[in-house]
Each structure stands twice: as C-alpha cells, then as structure tokens.
Amino acid sequence: MTLGHDLTAWFSHLNETTGVNFTIVYDSYDRARFLNGLWLTLMISGVTIAGSVLVGIVGAWGQMSRLRWVRGIVACYVEFFRNTPPLVQMYFFYFGLSALLPGTRNSLGFEKPLINGFTWACLSLICFAGSFNVEIFRSGIEAIPSATTEAAESLGFTRLQTYVHVILPLALRVCLPALTNNLVNLVKTTTLAYAIAVPELLYVSNQIWSDNENVPEMMLVLFVIYIALVGILVFAMHAWERALRRPGLGT
Amino acid sequence: MSSKFPVILPLGAPLRRQAGGLPTLRLAPWHGVALASIILLSSAAANAATGGPIHASVLAILARWTPLLLRGFGLNILISFLSMAIGTVLGAFLGLGLITPSRPLRGASWAITQFFRNAPWLVLLFFMIFLLPFHIHVGTVTINLPSWLKAVIGLALPVMANVAEIVRGGVRSIHPGQWEAAESLGFTRRQQLWLIILPQSVKRMLPPWMNLYAILTTSTTLASIVGVNEVVSLAGQVLAAEGSKPYLLAPIYAYVLLMFFVYTYPIAWATQRLERRYHVRN
Amino acid sequence: MAPQPLVVIDNLHKSFGHVEVIKGVSMTVAKGEVACIIGPSGSGKSTLIRCVNALVPFEVGSIKVLGIEVNDPKLDKLKLRKHVGMVFQQYNLFPHRTALQNVMMAPIQVLKRPKKEVEAEAYALLKKVRLEGKEHSYPGELSGGQQQRVAIARSLAMKPDLMLFDEVTAALDPETVGEVLLTIRQLAEEGMTCILVTHEMGFAREVANEVYFTDKGVIVEQGPPSEFFSAPRDPRTKAFLSQIL
C-alpha cells in the first residue's frame, strides 16, 4: 500500500522537521493501540446506544404496567440512575457489584473477575442512559391521546400489540429530538470508562502521549474524533427523523 | 393547523426543547430519605455480617471520616462556584456572539459553541491539566497553578458553551413582535437588544442556568480522575485506609451521594418552581 | 390640485422566496387622508403595510414617504421612523415597563429629548386615549383594548406624520373594539394621515376617505366608501363584501 507508505513517510518527515509528532500514523505500535482504542470506543458507544434504547422501551412499557410493584421498581431505577453522577455509578458497578460476584480462576491459576471492565462499563452506561430514555419514551407515550389507544383496543389489539404497533411508532417520532440529545451525551460519557482502566480511546491516548510527550497533537486528534463521532450520530438521527416524518405530525 | 382533537398532545417537560439542551435535575425529598436509609441499612447489614473482634460500627467509621470528606466536598463546591462564574461570564459574551447580525462573528461563535458542547467533559479536563503549566510568571511573581484550579478552567469551557446556548435560546423565545415594535419606534438594534429584549429574556434564562449549575456540581466528581483531591477520591482513600472492606463501599459512596443531594436539592427545587411559574405564564 | 401626497407607492412587488405576495400595487395617500385596506387573508395587506415602514425589504417598485425613498439602500431608517408610527395587531407593548414608561421610552432613547418634557407629553397622550390613572400599570394588568390604546399613544409620542394600523382590532374582544376605533377616529378627525388594514367595515364606511380592496397581491378595486360599499364594480369585491356584510 503505497498510500500508507507515503502517509507514514510524510508524518515522520513532519516530526523530524517541525516537531509536530503524530506517532499514531507512522509508528506501527502506537497506531495499533490507537486503532484498538478507537474500536473499543466505537464498540462501547454502539452497545450502550442499543442497550439503553432497549432499556428505555422496556422501562416505558413497565411504567404502564397494571402491577404496582413493577411500576415501583422502574421508578426507583429511573430516579437512582438519573440523579446520581455517572462516575459514582461506574464505581458502584465495577468495585461494588463485582466484589459480590464469585471470582474465577484463569489458566495460570490467578483470580480473575467474572466480568471484565469493558462489560461493567457497558452495563453502567446502559443503566445511566437507559434511565433518561425511560423518561423520554414515557413522555412520548403520554403525548399520545388516549382516544388513539382506546381505538386500538376496541379493534381487538392486545396491550402488547397496541404498544408495538400504535404507541411505539407515534411516541418514537415525538421523542426523537430529545433522544438524539441523550445519545450524544452518552457517546461523550463513554470516556468515563477511563476511570476503570478500560483501554478505550482516551485511556489509550493517555498512554501514547505519556510515552511520546505529544499531548497537543493527541488532544487535537481526540477532539476531532469525538466531534466527528457526535456529528455522525446527529446526522444519522436527523436522517432517521426525516425518514419517519409524516404530514400533519410535526412538532 | 389547530383542531379540537389533536393527533399529538402538548409535549411534557422531558421532551420540550430546552434552552441549553441538558436534562433537568428533578430531585424530591424522598431521594434524600432513600439515600439515608441506604446508609443505615447497609451499615446495619455490615455490622451484622462482621460481628467479630473488630466491630467498629460502620456509622462510627463514617462519623470519624466526616470532617475529611466534608473538606473534600468543600473543594467540589469551590470548583463548581469558580467554574460557573468564569463559564457564565465567557458564555454571556459567546451568547451575544451567537445572535449578532455580523455573519463572520456569528459563525465563529457557533463553531466555538459546537466544539465545546460536543467535546467530552473529561477530555477537556485532561486538556487543561496537561496543557496548562504548573506555574505562570507574571512579571517577577510566580503563581502556582494547582490541579484543582486547572480543573476549574477545564470545566468552565463546557459551561461557557452551555450558557451561550441558554442565552441564545432565551433571546429567541421572545416574541418577534417585540423586535418589530421596537424597530418601528426607531430603536437601533443595540438598543432593541439591551433595553427591550434582554431584560425580558434574562428571567427565562434562570431555570436552565440553575439546572446547569446543579449538573456541573455533580460533574465536579470527574476531577477525581485527573488527580484532584476532591470528595470522590477522598472516599476512595478512606476506603483504602479502612482496609478496603467491600461492605464499606455502599455506605461510604452513599454518604458522598447524600452530601451532593443535600447541596443540589434546594437548587433543583428552586429551578422546578421557577420553570413551572414561567411555563404557566407563557 | 388636492392636498399633496404623503405616501406614493408605485408598482410594488414583493416575493418571499418563490412566492410572490405583492404583484404590482400602486396607490397614493394624501396628507390628512384616511385609507382603509380590506381583503381576504393572504392577500398581502400586512406585508404591504410593513413595506411602507421598511420593516420588510422589497426589490421591485418604489415607495416614497414624505419624499423619502424607502427602498434606498442608504436610507437612514431612523429618519423614516420619526415620521411613521405603527400599531400592531398584537399590541407588542414592552411587558417589563409600565404604560407610562412604554410611551416615554422611544422619545428619550431614540430622539434624545429631555425627560421632563417627554413625561409631561406622555401623561397628556395617555389622557388623550382615555387611560388616565393607568399610567403606572404594567401591560399584563391591562385589558386588550387598554393595551392597544397604550400602543397608539406610544407611537404618537414620536409625533409622526403618518400612522399605520395593522388589523389592530382583530385580536380584541368585541366590547373593547369600540374604544380603540373611537381613538383612531379622533386621530383622523384631528387631521392625522392614516393607513389602516382592517376588517371593520362599519368603521371604514364612516371614517375612510378611500377604501382599497386587495386580493392575491393586487388592488382589485378602490374608491370612496360611498361608492365602494354601495356599488362595488368588480365581482371579487362583490363576493367578498357579501360574505362580510
């Protein structure tokens, strides 16, 4: 790949002449770990976005339940994860919950936690963003006039069918802008996984700039990537919003 | 197209496009009660579990470390005050830049606002911690820049961007008829903004601004990751000092959360009151 | 000939994007004349009146107010606005100031006149619109009709030569419409040049010197009220009037 060669040569040259050091381009070790970190961040973002939306949908369904204890559990969950700092939540999961789980032994006989940092980070972030999503979906559901649901029931839909075919499509259209805001916030919050030593983008960048003393360059790259990630997410959500648009159903 | 039977009802608070775009922190007294009961219950459970020769009650441990934790919490509050103050002043200017008729100025303000709104707060913190020097020399005087001060500046940047959005949202929420009436009376654009539009919109900016402060306060915990000795890092050190007993984790962190609750609840309550008052009036 | 023209609109065209809202309007309003513009919604009446006051820019045609060309790119808008006052359908009073302060603000801040003088005049103006005693009330405490009269007093404080009224009674309760129309009638009788966009046919019939009917961006018919209302010539005018009257 001569393009790759040209790029690496250009960046090494840049370093030698100006001192502007982008080792992630020309150094294969740094490049490898940087790309791994980026990949991990993308994975965490993808998993948590999907998971939290699922939690939002299920939780909003739970809040409509006729059983009081179900509504109570969902309410407690939302209130706790919505009003506490996500960092403390992550510590609770990683240090607290993992201490309660049994450990296993790895091949060398050393104690190994059952669930690794990446998984805990995802679980924690899913719970955090999920709580906001439950609220957002619930408000979307509340914006649907009861006449609509009554009509569905009198046509013979079960409660679940009404939820899936009538309520959810309408509520989704109404809550997309707020959902977009929340998901953008979620992508930014994935950086907290640093605190529990998950080798995502920020963690890896920290290692690289500690080794190479090129903080400003790495910072620039970090900013560009996060802003690009957020930009892509917003673009995708707006495109989805446009695709879902129906005449007369605007906000 | 209004009709007597709309297809979608008016949107509730979580969905209304908020000036500032941050979710409203809605706290209630029972949250505090729940936190306190978590502390008591987990302490009781821990006391029951450990029973042995070293049975210092968990509550006694908490009481012993309270002065230190409160000092740490005081640092969180200091950081939040200073960040909010600096961020508000800068954000007010940036907000004015967002509504100016001059296109290049508006574009630059928009770019800055988008940049600091979309960058993760933790990355901005790292940015400041690593790029600001340890001392700055002003003439012959050397001023030390401790990490908590760098954290203040790091957090002031997203505050600035959010305040700019709040200012812009507040000005845009004023009915265009006010601008028209002022213009046809001969007021210059500057007079329109300062005599008529801004005095009316400042009141509307208060609830989202107060909400921003509440969120900022809970976000000061991020500073623990970059080595500032605020309450969350101190809690970790307390845990270590007590031998890292797993049963102490819940009480200590719940205690820290209780401190945050006691501080942010009045702010959240006032914000909700104001929000309801302005929404009803509109 | 007759009294000299105060406002001369010549072949005005205005488009918003691809939609042409005013398609060639020409009219003349003489000093002391009261012109009423009536027509269905969407016919461009509000846009027309906003063009006269330079609130809305236009590309084709010319409007001269007191000889000042409104479309002049080097126009000193302040100079124009000292001569033209405008009252809006939604009153647009400044809610953070009392009625008196609303009336006083512009002469003090824009015309830089001394406060004592302006205050005395403001009291007199509010008395003239029959709002004595309400000087220190806030707009939120006043009824719609009262707010509209404050709005009229506020525009009069700038001592304009021309007053523009954009459907000023459309948002009022029927009981309060009368008090506002009485105020406007008083002004007209004192010799103020007025252009009114209105739905109040009775008022137009009694007070106007010339009535204009606009539809789809053009003036379909115009004439003194005696002819206009009793013997409309154009079928569109007839259809509109039969719906309203």
| CB-nearest partner of B23 from A99, A132, A145 | A132
Question: What is the per-residue pLDDT for C192?
Answer: 92
Residue C201's pLDDT band, with cuts at 50, 70 and 90, is confident
Q: What type of residue sits at position C170?
A: A
C82: nearest CA in chain B? B186
Chain C residues touching residue B187 (CB < 8 angstroms):
106, 109-110
What DSSP character marks residue A194? G
pLDDT > 60? residue A50: yes
Confidence (pLDDT) at B207: 86
Q: Which of B37-41, B161-165, B252-256, C202-206 has the lowest mean pLDDT?
A: B37-41
Classified as helix, coil or strand, C30 is: strand
Considering the domain boundaries, does residue C191 fall inside one?
yes
Average pLDDT over residues A201-219: 88
Contacts of A171 (CB under 8 A, 6+ apart): A60, A137, A140, A141, A143, A144
How would you class B118 by CB atoms within 10 Å of its CB: exposed for 0-12, middle for 13-18, buried for 19 or more? buried
CB neighbour list of residue B80: distance below 8 Å, 6 or more residues apart: B155, B213, B216, B217, B220
Tell me which residue has tokens 């939302």: A78
Poorest-pLDDT segment among A71-75, A113-117, B16-20: B16-20
Tokens of B137: 């020399």
Q: List, in sequence order, the alpha helices (H) in chain C.
A: 45-52, 77-83, 99-109, 115-128, 144-156, 174-189, 201-207, 225-230, 235-244
* Whether C95 and B200 lie within 8 Å, measured CB to CB: yes
Local structure of C85: helix, strand or coil: strand
Q: Is A82 on the interface with B (CB under 8 A)?
A: yes
With CA atoms as reference, report the closest residue to C199 among C166, C229, C160, C222: C166
| Closest by Cβ to B180, choosing from C88, C96, C158 | C88
Chains B and C touch (3+ CB pairs under 8 A): yes
Q: With an 8 Å CB cutoff and a minimum of 3 pairs, decide whether chains A and C touch.
A: no
Place C131 in a pLDDT band, splitting at 50, 70 and 90: very high
Domain count, chain C: 1
Residues of chain B with Cβ-Cβ distance to A139 below 8 Å are: 11-15
Neighbours of C244 (CB within 10 A): 9
User: Is there a contact between A219 and B26 if contact means CB atoms under 8 Å apart?
Assistant: no
DSSP state of A164: I
Q: Using a CB-CB distance cutoff of 8 angstroms, which residues of chain C are in contact with residue B177?
A: 88, 90, 92
- pLDDT for B18: 53
- The larger pLDDT score, comparing residue B8 to residue B263, is at B263
A-chain residues near B25 (CB < 8 A): 83
Distance from C-alpha of A147 to C-alpha of A105, rounded to nearest angstrom: 58
| Residue in chain C lying closest to B201 (CA) | C96
Interface B:C, Cβ pairs < 8 A: 56
Within chain B, how many helices (H) and strands (E) appear?
10, 2
Q: Residue B218: which of A85, A138, A190 has the nearest Cβ?
A: A85
Among residues C35, C40, C36, C23, which one has the least CA distance to residue C237? C40
DSSP string, B224-270: GGGT---HHHHHHHHHHHTT--GGGHHHHHHHHHHHHHHHHHHHHHH
Residues with Cβ within 8 Å of A123's Cβ and at least 6 positions away in sequence, in order, are A93, A115
Decide if B211 contacts B14 (C-beta within 8 A): no
How large is the average pLDDT for residues C200-204? 86
For range C31-60, the mean pLDDT: 88
Cβ of B1 and A248 within 8 Å? yes
Lowest mean pLDDT among A203-212, B39-48, B101-110, C154-163: B39-48
Place of tokens 């919505």: A82
Q: For residue C231, give how far its alpha carbon lies from the nearest alpha carbon of chain B (Å).
A: 37
Tell me the pLDDT band of A112, cut-offs 50, 70 and 90.
low
- Residue C122: pLDDT over 90: yes
Pick A84's closest partner by Cβ from B12, B119, B257. B257
CA distance linking residue A64 with residue C132, whole number of Å: 58
Q: How far is CA A87 from the centre of its chain?
A: 14
Look at the alpha carbons of A61, A67, A73, A76 in this order and tell me if their dihedral is positive or negative.
positive
Q: In angstroms, how far is CA B244 from the centroid of its own chain?
A: 31
Instruction: Give the CB-side neighbour count of residue B230, counting CA atoms within 13 A.
Output: 30
Q: Which residues are CB-contacts of B1 (< 8 A; sequence separation ≥ 6)?
A: A248
Of B181, B191, B195, the CB nearest to C92: B181
Where in the sequence is the domain holding C166, given as residue range(s)? 5-92+161-244
Taking each helix axis as running N to C, give the angle between helix B147-172 and helix B198-219, from 0 to 180 degrees, rounded to the nearest 10.
150
Cβ of C92 and B175 within 8 Å?
A: yes
Taking the CA of residue C105 and the nearest CA in chain B, the distance in Å comes to 9
Rounded (5°) CA angle B272-B273-B275: 65
Q: Which of A148-157, B50-59, B185-194, C87-96 is modeled with the greatest confidence?
A: B185-194
Beta carbon pairs, A and B, within 8 Å = 134
* Partner residue facing A136 (CB), from B15, B25, B34: B15
Kindly state the average pLDDT of the residues A105-120.
73
The greatest distance separating any two alpha carbons of chain A, rounded to the nearest whole angstrom, comes to 77
Rounded-to-10 torsion of CA A170, A176, A177, A182: 140
Does B191 contact C109 at a Cβ distance shorter than 8 Å? Answer: yes
- Chain C neighbors of B175, CB-CB under 8 A: 90, 92
- Identify the CATH number of the domain in which residue C27 sits: 3.40.50.300
| Range 179-218 of A in CB contact (< 8 A) with B | 181-182, 184, 188-192, 194-195, 202, 206, 209, 215-216
Residue-level pLDDT at C1? 45
Return d(Cα B21, Cα B209) in angstroms, integer: 11
Q: What element of type H or E holds C34? A: strand C34-38
H helices present in C23-143, as ranges: 45-52, 77-83, 99-109, 115-128
The minimum CA-CA distance between C233 and chain B, rounded to whole Å, is 35
Which of B43-52, B180-189, B237-246, C68-77 is the least confident region?
B43-52
Distance CA B258, CA B40 (A): 12
Chain C hits for B182, CB-CB cut-off 8 Å, are: 94
C37-46 pLDDT, tens digit per residue, is: 998 887 888 8
The model's pTM: 0.82
Residue B227 contacts A where some CB pair is shorter than 8 Å: no
Chains that touch C (3 or more CB pairs under 8 A): B
Predicted confidence (pLDDT) per residue in B226-275, tens digit? 889 999 999 989 988 888 777 788 888 888 888 888 898 888 888 888 88
Across the interface, whether the CB atoms of C82 and B195 are under 8 A apart is answered no
pLDDT(A229) > 70:
yes
Question: What's the pLDDT score for residue B51?
Answer: 61
Q: What is the pLDDT of residues B60-117, one digit of tens each?
A: 888 888 999 999 999 999 999 999 999 999 999 999 999 998 999 999 999 999 899 8
Residue A33 C-alpha from the chain's centroid: 21
Rounded Cα distance between A125 and B78, Å, is: 28
* Residue whose pair of structure tokens reads 């001394």 in the numeric block: C114
Quick check: A91 and B253 CB within 8 A? yes
Domain definitions of chain A by residue range: 39-244
Q: Which residue's structure tokens are 């105020």?
A: C183
> pLDDT for C9-22, tens place per residue?
999 999 988 888 99
| Contact between residue A137 and residue A57 where contact means Cβ atoms under 8 Å apart | yes
Domains along chain B with CATH numbers = 34-43+58-281 (1.10.3720.10)
Q: How far is B9 from chain A (nearest CA, A)?
A: 5
Which sign does the torsion angle of CA A31, A34, A40, A41 carry?
Answer: negative
Give the span between the Cα atoms of A139 and C6, in whole angstroms: 57
Q: What is the pLDDT of residues B159-217, one digit of tens each?
A: 999 999 999 988 988 888 999 999 999 898 889 999 999 998 998 888 889 989 988 99
- Number of neighbours of residue B34 by Cβ within 10 angstroms: 18
Query: How high is the pLDDT of residue B36?
Result: 86
Q: Which residues between 90 and 149 in chain A have a beta carbon less than 8 angstroms from any beta carbon of chain B?
A: 91-92, 95-96, 99-100, 132, 135-136, 138-140, 142-145, 147-148
Instruction: Please list every residue in chain C whose beta carbon sits closer than 8 Å to the beta carbon of residue B101.
Output: none
The pLDDT, as a whole number, for residue B53 is 46
Single-letter amino acid, residue B56: A
Q: Check residue B220 and report its DSSP letter.
A: G
Shortest CA distance to A120 belongs to which of A49, A202, A58, A195? A195
Residue B7, chain A, CB below 8 Å: the answer is yes
**Inter-chain residue contact C53 with B177, CB threshold 8 Å:** no
**With a CB-CB cutoff of 8 Å, which residues 108-137 of chain B face chain A?**
114-115, 118-123, 126-127, 130-131
Give C-chain residues touching B280 at CB under 8 angstroms. none
Element at A138 (helix H, strand E): helix A117-142
Residue ranges of alpha helices (H) inside B121-219 are 121-131, 147-172, 176-184, 189-191, 198-219
Q: Mind telling me how many Å the CA of B176 is from chain C's nearest CA? A: 9
Residue C195's nearest CA partner among C46, C90, C81, C62 is: C46
CATH architecture of A39-244: Orthogonal Bundle (1.10)
What residues of chain C lie within 8 A of the CB of B188, using their CB?
78, 110
Cα–Cα distance, A205 to A219 (Å, whole number): 8
CB contact under 8 A, B15 and A177: yes
Confidence of residue C48 (pLDDT cuts 50, 70, 90): very high
Chain A neighbors of B219, CB-CB under 8 A: 85
Within 8 A of C109 by CB-CB distance, chain B residues are 187, 191, 195
User: Are the beta carbons of A186 and A129 closer than 8 angstroms?
Assistant: yes
